[in-house]
Every structure is written in structure tokens, then in C-alpha cells.
Amino acid sequence: MIVPDDRTQANARLTAMQIGLSVLFFLLVVSFWAIQVLQHDRYLEEAESNRRKFDSLDPWKACGDCAYMPTCAGGCLTASYSQLGDVNTPTCHKPTFESAVIALAHRVSAQQETVQ
């Protein structure tokens, strides 16, 4: 029977510790990688969900047959959120558009009178 001396036992313990640390390091690297992959998948799912929500926004549906639809289409979504708390509700600028059209009509009329 072979009786290991202290030096052999110390070397065996050191080797076992090195193997243990290597395995631990490997598990940490694999865990970190797995977490990154899962987070990336979750990010992609969330991005796709947000894209679908954005595509379904249609505040202009509440505008009926408004004449300013081609230029306004329900207004700014960010303004809707900040002013009304809902991105799917139009922020209406109809009075502003109407006063601008009236001002434009007055200006054009005045120019035509000057020309004649």
C-alpha cells in the first residue's frame, strides 16, 4: 500500500482546487452568456410588441372628415401623450389651421388688389 506523503497530498489538493476553480469559472461564463442570450430575446420580443403597438396607433380615426387630415392626421403623437396622456387621442389644431387659412386668404386678397 502506498501512503502519500504531505507533498503528494498538497499537490492533489491543489490540483483539485484548480479543477474546481476552472469548473466554477466555466459555469460563470456559461451563465453570463445564457443571461445575455435571454435578455436579448426578451429585448427583441419587447421591441416587436412596441412596434405592433405603434403600428396600431390611429388617432386620426377620431377626426372624421376633417379638411386638414392630409397635413395633420390627428397631430403629434408625442404631444398627445404629454398633453392628453394618451398617444391614441388626437391633439387638435383645427382653430390654428383655420385662422392660418383666413390670414392667408386676406394676404392673397390684399396682394391681388395691389396688382389690379
Instruction: Return residues touching ligand SF4 (CB under 6 A).
Output: 63, 66, 68-69, 72-75, 90, 92-94, 97
Q: What is the closest distance, in whole angstroms, from the C-beta atom of residue 63 to ligand SF4 in the complex?
A: 3
Rounded Cα–Cα distance for residues 15 and 9 (Å): 10
**Nearer CB in complex with ligand SF4: 37/62:** 62
Identify whether the C-beta of residue 87 lies closer than 8 Å to the C-beta of residue 57. Answer: yes
Return the closest-CA partner of residue 80 out of 98, 99, 63: 63
Cβ closer to ligand SF4: 75 or 87?
Answer: 75
Give me the amino acid identity at 67. A
> How far is residue 73's CA from residue 15's CA, in Å, rounded to a whole number?
72
Of residues 35 and 79, the one with the C-beta less far from ligand SF4: 79
- Least distance between ligand SF4 and beta carbon 107 (Å): 21
